[in-house]
Amino acid sequence: MFDAAVDQAAGLRRLFRTERSRLIPAGCLVPETQARVFIGQMAAAAGPEDARMRVVDRKALHQWLRHTHAGEADVPGEEELLFWLDDPVEMARWVHAQAGDRLLLILSHRRDAMMAQYAKIKHIAATTGIRRFGVLFVDVEQVDRGRENFLNLAGCARRFLSVQLDVVVGSCRDETGLRTWSGLSLAELAQFQWSSWSGAGMPALEENGFSGGVAH
């Protein structure tokens, strides 16, 4: 499943071409600057005509919510995909309050990061009941090593937490650029999208100490 040939640009175009803006909450366990670079690479892979992907923070979402009625908010703009980067535990609480059952995580494939990332997934599963996670690895340099570390993490999560982890896409510093690692494709990021959302469970601005990363 890791070696399937996938047209990355076509997948991104399908992802972008929606009738309205979409929000993807992404719990970030790497430095925020690193995550932003990775998302920028994804946008560039789609081509200039399709690259309408941008990162938003908690403050921007609060501003949109304040200007809506009955607590519901639609993100302005057409065919725009917004990545909300935030603390994964706070974000999981919001997803749970929205009656969601899955969460996208931005992770490192590094072995020394795995234990802290596993502990965070365990905490989210125990406190929210979320059992499915899509994974974006931002720092894979060798496909084989990234695959091995992912399988170790996914195996422990499945065995001890009854949690499903799926790699959506991993970075790779070779001629293929972005590489899909599993049956999920970039187009299936839609499974983690929200076309509308409410303020229920939204973390308060004063709690926004998110800077990304995990302790090593």
pLDDT digits (tens, 9 = 90+) for 29-51: 999 999 988 888 777 765 555 54
Residue with tokens 């047209």: 7
Is the pLDDT assigned to residue 177 strictly greater than 60?
A: no
pLDDT band, residue 213 (cuts 50/70/90): low
Burial label, 115 (beta-carbon count in 10 A; 0-12, 13-18, 19+): middle
The torsion defined by the Cα of 26, 32, 34 and 40, in degrees rounded to 10, comes to: 60
Residue-wise burial string across 154-164, b where 16 or more C-beta atoms lie within 10 A, e elsewhere: bebbeeebebe
Query: What integer pLDDT is reported at residue 183 of this predicted model?
Result: 46
| Percent of the chain residues past pLDDT 70, beyond the cut | 67
Is the pLDDT assigned to residue 170 strictly greater than 50?
A: yes
Label the pairing between strands 102-107 and 81-86.
unpaired
pLDDT band, residue 108 (cuts 50/70/90): very high
How many Å is the maximal CA-CA distance in the chain? 50
pLDDT band, residue 21 (cuts 50/70/90): low
> pTM for the complete prediction?
0.79
Q: What is the mean pLDDT of the chain?
A: 75
pLDDT band, residue 210 (cuts 50/70/90): low
